[in-house]
Amino acid sequence: MTRRLLLERRSFWSGMSGVAIAGRVARALNLPQPVGVMVQQVAADSPAARIGLRPGTIPATVEGKPFLLGGDIILAVQGQRIGAETYEALQERMSRLPAGSAISVIVLREGREVTLTAVKD
């Protein structure tokens, strides 16, 4: 799989790192769905930065794992809710979008769902 993802296909680089959250942690953070991706870091001048994703800024440990809280939690990408497809399927779908396509991401930000949009390079 690594060879296929890194060498045989051009994958979509979002410029962010995130942590999947589910179960008790998702419920504690009042996610409106069972799974989301908590944004941890966003690279400067990346697609994630251009769309307006906000990383966490508050260090915390939850169930023994370190997190940065206070940033966006991704709920959906291109209308597909997180958890409904694998990471590899999402990467494949994003890679197939031609340059100039609109990209839409729904995030949970400060307790509200917010839609962010940008154009793929």
| Integer Cα distance of 77 and 120 in angstroms | 13
Q: How many residues does the chain have?
A: 121
Closest alpha carbon to 89 in 11, 6, 7 = 11
Residues 6 or more apart whose Cβ sits within 8 Å of residue 43: 15, 16, 49
The pair of structure tokens assigned to 89 is: 């399927």
- Full-prediction pTM beyond 0.75? yes
Domains and CATH numbers, the chain: 12-119 (2.30.42.10)
Mean pLDDT score of the chain? 86
Q: What is the pLDDT of residue 34?
A: 95
pLDDT tens, 49-101? 999 999 999 999 988 989 999 999 999 999 999 987 777 777 778 878 888 88
CA distances from 47 to 40, 68, 109 (A): 15, 20, 18
Kindly state the DSSP code that residue 31 receives in the 8-state scheme.
-
